[in-house]
Structure formats: C-alpha cells, structure tokens
Structure 1
Amino acid sequence: TGIMPGGFNEVVIRNASAVAGPRIGLQAEGSHLRKINSKYYVMNITWPRGGMRTQIIHRADKITGPYEGKVILQDKGIAQGCLIDTPDGKWYAVLFQDNGSVGRSPWLVPVKWEEGWPVLGIDGKAPMTLDIDDKEEGFGNITASDEFNRKPREPLPLAWQWNHNPENLYWSIGERSGYLRLTTGRVDSGVLQARNTLTQRTFGPVSSATTKIEVAHMKDGDCAGLIALQRRYGFVGVKMEGRSKSIVMVSAISNTGEEVESVPLKLQTVYLKIDCDFRDRTDKACFYYSLDGKTWTKVGAVLQMAYTLPHFMGYRFGLFNFATKTPGGFVDFDFFRVSNEITGAE
C-alpha cells in the first residue's frame, strides 16, 4: 500500500480527543473511515483521565475536512470499532470491551441515525441482548469442538489458530484417522516456544476444554498436553523423563513455568481438562486429569489468570507438544471439546 498518485498526505483532524474533554489519558486511535450518504465519518476511541474507553466520531463533507466531532458512546468501556449496515437497512456498531483475562469481548451495538449522526445504543447504553435472527452457524467459527474426523490436508475450521506459524511437516489430521497428531520438529526451552500449538479462544462467563491424548510415542524430554495460554500460562500435560511418564501441572503465575504437581502415569492414554471462570473478573483456571474420561482429579494449583501486554490477548485453550532433548516424538489427540459449563472434579 502507499499514497495514491495525486492523493494527499496531511493531518485532517487535529486533537481529535478534544470532543471528549480536556483531560485525556489515551489520545484518539483505532481509526475507521466510511463514506455514508456523501459524508465522511471517522470513528476513533479515546480515554479521558479517570473515565472509561469512549467512542467518538467526526464527520465532514470532504475527506480533507473540515471535520466536526462528538462523543457517541460512553458506557461500560465499550468502544473501538466501525459502523456496519445489513442488506435490509439496519445499522450497527461493532465494538469491543476489555474484560480482564478473557480478553476483548465483541459487542454489536444498534445504531439509528438522527440529523446525519449515528446514535449508538438505547438511551445512551449498549444493550446486553439484541433481537436479531440467528439462522447460521452461530459462534461455530469462533469456538468449536472438534473430533478431528476429516481427510488429510482438509483445512482446519476457522475457530482454530496456530500460536506460531506452523511447521506443516510436523502436524497432521488424518495421518491416523480421527486424530490430530503433533510431532516435535525441534528442541524448545518451553511451551511458549513450541511451534505447533493449536489454539482456540476461551470465552465467558465460564468455559471448559477437554481432550484425550495418546502418549505412547513420546521421547525422553517431551511434554504434551492442554494449556491455558497467555504470558502467565498454566497447563496440564504428560511429561516423559527417561522411560517414565507423569501427569504434570505447570504454572507460570510468576512469569516462569514451574512444575506444581507430578503424578506417575502408567497408561498410554489420559484425559485432560481445564475449567476457566471469568465471572465478575474472578479469572481463575483449574486443571484436571482422568484415566477413564469419567472420574476427574484436580491437579496442581488454581491459576490466577491475568491479561498481560507481552501477549496482548485473552487466554486461549491450546493443544501442544514440545521436545526438550530430542525431536521426533509425537502424540495423538482424539478430540477437543469445549463447553459453556464447568464441572470441576465431578
């Protein structure tokens, strides 16, 4: 991208935050520009000192200005995004709200137009519920359970994201029918460096993730399992030392991964689970294992989750496998199941 020949390169809105008052902590940012009915609209967020994230907008008849602006939403910190319209003529603002360790929650805010200005919400507030049709897949492209029953090289659903650019030689679905296989391709110092970690976002108010992992082909020094991923992560997994395997819970609440508990494992299959509680910013994660998929045992310590800037994202569930000594070992995940309920050790 670049400046179009014959275009312009100049500041068109100076001190855009001024419409929100004189005491500004965060200057206007997150700009979105749309041309609607022959006018140009620029959406920005700002943050008055002692206040909250605030949505502002400026409009002009020409893209070069002059612009006039105003505050259009100051409620629960919901701000930063764009205006959208539907084929049937309805208008909304797509914004987000910071919600602690679960991350940034998307908000769809209804919009009506008055005298050429978008009016957001109902009586100045973003409603908690909307009367809209839901005839599609719902949130299946945001979070989704997966039985890994697909053909080799078939694309992953959009709910999945790799934590790093993947090494495609070292993961597969379909190499063993009905399983996700993660193979170590290099030696890593810890789980944050593990290349092929497959993740989905957590969600509130509570969410739970469960997986079944087969560990017969791990190598000495390997570690694989299920993680609540952020800078201050926690995971429950299987570690191999020499010829022995153990179920471990590791916590990075102090910014460094430390093994909190280890339980000897004689079987080659184990079930793992993480429960996340985001209610009222509780932000706690609990870790469990099961040998039969029915009876669950809590392991390690409760993780006090925290949204930190080095990762700049909410916590994510992740499936991982990394080597600390010799690459080439692999594990097979039978399924990944998410739920909007937490069941603990039931």
Structure 2
Amino acid sequence: MAVGISRENIEGPYDDKIVLEQGLSPINGPHQGAWVQAEDGSDWFFHFQDKRAYGRIVHLQPMDWENDWPVMGIDADGDGIGEPVLTYRKPVPGKFPIANPAIHDEFNKRVLGVQWQWNANWKPEWYSLGERPDHLRLFARVDRHYQTQQHLWNVPSLLLQKLPAEEFVVDTAIDVRNMRPGDATGLLIYGLRYQWIGIKHHAHGKELALAFCGNTETNCTEQIVTSLPFNGDQIFLRMTVTKGAQVQFAFSGDNLQFTPIGPNFAASEGRWVGARMGLFALSTAGTNAPETSFVDVDYFRVSPISN
C-alpha cells in the first residue's frame, strides 16, 4: 500500500512511498484502509484482506511513524515498509469478554438478527416473524427472474449472511406443508456460482432437490444435480463448509441421521462480496398473496465442525 504526502500544498505536488506490503506474511493485499487513533494516542490501521469466497476480512495493524511516514504492521527486515501481523496486543489494555458477531437465529424475536442481508431492497410482505411463534415464515414470492431465466441471480428476496469462519456447519429445519405446485425453498450457498438443497413442489408432489448454477450470472440455467421423492411435512438440512470453501450438503427426515447428497461444491465469491449463505422461498406459479403458499423456518444454527 502506498501513501502520498504533500508538504507544501494540499493540491500537490506529492511524494509517495510504499508503507505496507504483504512481504512474507500470508495476508494478501493489503489495501483500502483507514488510520485510527486510540484514546492513549497510539496509532492503528484498518485494512482488508481479499479471501475470495470468504469475503473481505478486516485486519487491525499497529502503526508507527518513521521520518514523517506511517509504517503499518511490523517492519521486520528494516526496509521501512511494514508487513501485516496476524496477532498483536489489543489497542486498549485490560480483560474484556469475547464478543462474536451475530450468526445464529432462533427466530424468536420481533426482528431478524443483524447478520441477515436481503439480496436487494426488501419488502415487508416477504416474511413474518409473528405468524407462527419462534419461526420465520417465508412467503413463496413470484419472481420474474426465477420464472423466465431459471436462476436465482437478481432475485431480491434471498435472505443471506456472510460466511463466519473457514470451517463450520449450518443446520436448519423447514416446515414445507404449506407449499404449493411451483414452489421451491431451501438452504443456499450463493455467489457467482451457487448451490442449494431443499424442496421443490411439482404437480405430482414434492421432491428433495440439490440444484446449482456453475458459470456466471449472465450465462447459466439452474440445474438439478440429483433429486429424491419427499413426502414429509418438515425437512432438516445441513451444510458443512471446510477449508477452501468446500461445501457438502446433507438432509434428514428426523434430525438424527443425515445423508450427504451430491459431490463437494467449491463456493465462489459474489460480485464485490464473498459467498453468502441463507434461505429462500420462491414460486413460479400463482400470485403473491401472502396466504397463497409459504414455509416456516424453525432455526438457523451455525456450529464448529465436530472432530
């Protein structure tokens, strides 16, 4: 990362100097940051690392000054250019409880957790947290993109959140008894390539489906990797993510025995964001009246991978 300094005039001319580089560290980039100052006067620097499917990971680096130039990170080789560090003392001394960003949601509050992001400007008629206690009700929205282009790109009513770690497991339970022919719902990993596991309702009944789009958002029609007949009222879905953003889906009818389905899927970043995960309910038939069809999601839980 280079910075520029003008000692005479804000309009320049400027001197420039590289003050932060990857060097021998594993932190690629680093770039697009901000200088901040703690209450004790110490200087620190925020920047992000591009982790592809895992998104842009924020780092906080120590920052010192050398000959009026900022040096971010640690200048281990003495060349005047800092390198990022993975661990360092906290900016503010003392013992503080560990605080993790919101990830899980039991859907037992009046509002969605702050971790959730709709795929585009949202509308209140897409969902309800009050129709059924301790459940998220997703109404099966009729979307022209899904109807005509047969993929989820540009569908606004996808409920998504960022990936929280390199490795983790997601579990969710969806009540599908109020689905209608033309509806689809599921657990989704979403990016420039995406895959989901869930239920599709056809005229002849419901099926468990694993679907994906594997190219780009301008050149893909959603394909069914595999499908199985499904006759139950509730489906338990699991997504296991391992290093390298490798995704394996599984399903269960009783929440006890889970069956993996399909090969591993390599998640990819989205456009200017990492991959995201979440839920959806859509329809290719009928109307957008809320009472037409819907699914009820019991929970969305994220946990470490068991050894």
TM range (shorter): 0.7 to 0.9
Instruction: Answer whether contact 2:52 2:269 (CA < 8 A) is retained.
Output: yes
Of 293, 301, 307, which residue of structure 2 is paired with 1:337?
Answer: 301
How many residues of Structure 1 are paired with residues of Structure 2 in the alignment?
A: 279
Q: Go from structure 1 to structure 2 and tell me whether the alpha carbon gap of 1:228 and 1:58 turns closer, same or farther (over 3 Å shift).
A: same
- Distance in 2 (CA, whole Å) between partners of 1:193 and 1:224 is 16
Q: Does 1:267 align with 2:225?
A: no
RMSD of the alignment, in Å?
Answer: 2.1
Instruction: Answer whether contact 1:223 1:238 (CA < 8 A) is retained.
Output: yes
**Matching of residues 37-186 of structure 1 within 5 Å:** 55-61=1-7, 62-75=9-22, 76-122=28-74, 123=76, 124-132=82-90, 135=96, 138-140=99-101, 143-151=102-110, 154=111, 156-186=112-142
Which residue is 2:208 aligned to? 247
TM-score, length-scaled by structure 1:
0.75
Q: Go from structure 1 to structure 2 and tell me whether the alpha carbon gap of 1:205 and 1:163 turns closer, same or farther (over 3 Å shift).
A: same
Q: Where do 5+ consecutive residues of structure 2 fail to align? A: 23-27, 77-81
Instruction: Answer whether contact 1:276 1:283 (CA < 8 A) is retained.
Output: yes
- Distance in 2 (CA, whole Å) between partners of 1:286 and 1:87 is 46
Please list every run of at least 4 consecutive aligned residues from structure 1 whose deviation after the TM superposition is greater than 6 angstroms: none
- Distance in 2 (CA, whole Å) between partners of 1:201 and 1:170 is 20
Instruction: Answer whether contact 1:149 1:174 (CA < 8 A) is retained.
Output: no
Q: Where do 5+ consecutive residues of structure 1 fail to align? A: 1-54
Which residue is 1:11 aligned to? none
- Distance in 1 (CA, whole Å) between partners of 2:167 and 2:250 is 16
Q: Go from structure 1 to structure 2 and tell me whether the alpha carbon gap of 1:254 and 1:67 turns closer, same or farther (over 3 Å shift).
A: closer
Bigger shift: residues 263-272 or 180-189: 180-189
Of 254, 258, 263, which residue of structure 2 is paired with 1:292?
Answer: 254
Deviations 1:256-313 (A, max 9, x none): 3210111211111111111222x3xx332111111122221111232122336xx232
- Distance in 1 (CA, whole Å) between partners of 2:258 and 2:154 is 29
Q: Look up the equivalent residue of 1:274 and give its one-letter code.
A: M
- Distance in 2 (CA, whole Å) between partners of 1:198 and 1:137 is 27
Bigger shift: residues 209-218 or 196-205: 196-205
- How far off is 1:217 after superposition? 0.7
Of 184, 195, 202, which residue of structure 2 is paired with 1:234?
Answer: 195
